[in-house]
Amino acid sequence: MTVIVSEPVLNNEGNNNDKNVNGEGPADLAFDGGFVVPESNAFGHSFRFFFDGLRKGERKKSSRAGILQKESYNQTYEFAKKKKEHYGKLDKALMSIWECCELLNEFVDESDPDLDEPQIEHLLQTAEAIRRDYPNEDWLHLTALIHDLGKVLLHPAFGEEPQWCVVGDTFPLGCAFNESIVHHQFFKENPDYNNPNFNTKLGNYTENCGLDKVTMSWGHDEYMYLVAKDNNTKLPKAGLFIIRFHSFYALHRAGAYTYLMNDDDKEMLKWLHVFNKYDLYSKSKVKINIEEVKPYYLSLIEKYFPAKLRW
């Protein structure tokens, strides 16, 4: 089955007074191509900005900084290659998508300044918000539900990896660390920082080689991307792109590393921009009735995935 994904189309009425060009207000919701994301989500709440959340949660701020610091020290090109080879065997478990959702419910992401609840709450809030604003894009609803399932790497059955190896921001390896990466100063302790093969703008890569050629830091994004792709998902390429790069903030917030992108990447980035406004800013205290929405998501899982996946 081939899924044709159209360009994102959003209503931009009522946005004529948005003057902020510093990424701190509603104007930050406009993207190349003239489409914008709604100012409030499907629950009627304003989209919240990520760094506001950082200021509000001192405990989370401290935990997040510690995770990112360890990540900056330890995420090397060789490390990521070895992790990809190890977990790419997909020999840890055989289970369905929904079983993984339930398994992940035992964990809270310590790197997320806005999230103190089990993961399934966040997954369903994101998916339901997108579903109400984009009712015809069922692939995007399912992508939202599954985008964080790679965090099962925290589970003992999957090696009980430390948080810095699973969550946090992702970034390219094999080329210079861009200064837009959060806590960039910590990279000075990374062995790749002074490696002449890796510390130039392009490093191992060529201009516009395509992000599919790039080795990313290891974490839940890369793992879930491998799981979906190698289990022959029927999600469109844009869904896989969102799963793999939703934590790549240096790209979709700061516009860094665009010189590695090809034309396909640029098209799919539009959908990643849309998705991330919901991923980051749809978190709320609104509770989703899991049993009420479960049949809908089970039908999508059946449409786009096999009954059981190798993990």
* Domain boundary assignment for the chain: 48-310
- Residue 55, both tokens: 């200021």
pLDDT surpassing 50 at residue 51 = no
Q: Rounded to 5 degrees, what are φ and ψ at 40?
A: -125, 155
122 is in an annotated binding site: yes
Any known ligand binding at 246?
yes
Share of the chain above pLDDT 90, in %: 65
151 is in an annotated binding site: yes
- Whether residue 48 is annotated as binding a ligand: the answer is yes
Amino acid at 147: H
DSSP 169-211: ---EESSPPPTTSTTGGGGGGSTTTT-TTTSSSSTT--TT--G
| pLDDT tens readout for residues 126-174 | 999 999 999 999 999 999 999 999 999 999 888 899 999 999 999 999 9
Higher pLDDT: 210 or 47? It is 210
Q: How far is CA 292 from CA 124, 129, 297, in A?
A: 11, 15, 10
Tens-digit pLDDT profile for residues 86-132: 999 999 999 999 999 999 887 665 555 444 566 788 899 999 999 99
Residue 44, amino acid: G
Residue 263 marked ligand-binding: no
Is position 57 annotated in a ligand binding site? no
CA 225 – CA 231 distance, rounded (Å): 10
- 279 is known to lie in a ligand binding site: yes
Residue 110 annotated as part of some ligand binding site: yes
- Residue 247 labeled ligand binder: yes
Q: Is 58 annotated as a binding residue?
A: no
212 among the known binding-site residues?
no
- The verdict on pTM exceeding 0.85 is no
Residue 309's Cα: distance from chain center in Å? Answer: 20
Q: Is 109 annotated as a binding residue?
A: yes
Spell out the alpha helix ranges (H) of 231-306.
237-245, 249-252, 263-281, 290-304
More confident residue, 279 or 90: 90
Question: Average of pLDDT values for 276-289?
Answer: 75
